[in-house]
Amino acid sequence: MARVDWRIQGIDVTNCNCGWGCPCQFMSPPTRGNCHAGVVIRVDRGHFGKTPLDGLAFGGLFAWPQAIHKGDGHAQPVVDIRANAAQREALLKIMSGEETEPGATIFNVFAGTYSKVHDPLFRAIRVEADLDARTAQVEIDGLFEARVTPIRNPVTGEAVRAQIVLPAGFEYETAEAASGHVRTREATIPLSWDSGHAHLARIDMTGAGVVRNRAA
């Protein structure tokens, strides 16, 4: 059966409780033995079949008691309150890994690691990001706040630029590594840390995986 044709292009702002660089990016165990994360994606251009997704945002809060691949994760999906019924359904299907080749996207891979997916929330989502500056401000109304700043040299205080390059990645090819400061309010999955890992990436993804030719 043919999959629905979909594509999202935009900005991914990911924060997790690991040390800068995030061991998961290099197939290593999480810094503190578990993985807690808050992710927001701003869709600058996108569609799911004939449903346009331009200008919307989505994401979620996540927690795994051990490394992600060991499972038993909890997920709290969140979709932009501005999305209409068709757009909500589309974004939730993308997040759940549906209409996707097995293993082709981070959504599809992670979906197999959840033991609990909470009912989706529909909230106002604000995303401001500057990849070159390694800065971002993210807010999910009443739920989640994240401030992303550059990693700084502990001796000189100067901003340090580091990139994560994954030519065969299922989320992105290149991401800017940064420092994240996260808080939640009245969240089913509470998150709180300072100076955790953050990365900012331009994403271009379809049901077949990351688009690597950068064609529009």
Q: What is the pLDDT of residues 66-122, one digit of tens each?
A: 999 999 999 999 999 999 999 999 999 999 999 999 999 999 999 999 999 999 999
Is the pLDDT at 215 greater than 50? The verdict is no
Find how far residue 160's CA is from the centre of its chain.
Answer: 22
pLDDT in tens, 129-178: 999 999 999 999 999 999 999 999 999 999 999 999 999 999 999 999 99
Using CA atoms, how far apart are residues 7 and 103, in angstroms rounded to an integer? 16
Name the pairing type of β-strands 144-149 and 174-184: antiparallel
CB 201 within 8 A of CB 172: yes
| Proportion of the chain above pLDDT 90, given as a percent | 95
Decide: residue 165, CB within 10 A, 0-12 exposed, 13-18 middle, 19+ buried: exposed
pLDDT of residue 2: 78
CB 136 within 8 A of CB 147: yes
- Residue ranges in 74-137 assigned as alpha helix (H): 85-95, 106-111
Kindly report whether the global pTM for this prediction surpasses the value 0.85: yes
pLDDT of residue 214: 55
Is the pLDDT at 216 greater than 70? The verdict is no
pLDDT in tens, 147-156: 999 999 999 9
Cα torsion 193, 110, 73, 176 to 10°: value is -10
Confidence class of residue 43 from pLDDT cuts 50, 70 and 90?
Answer: very high
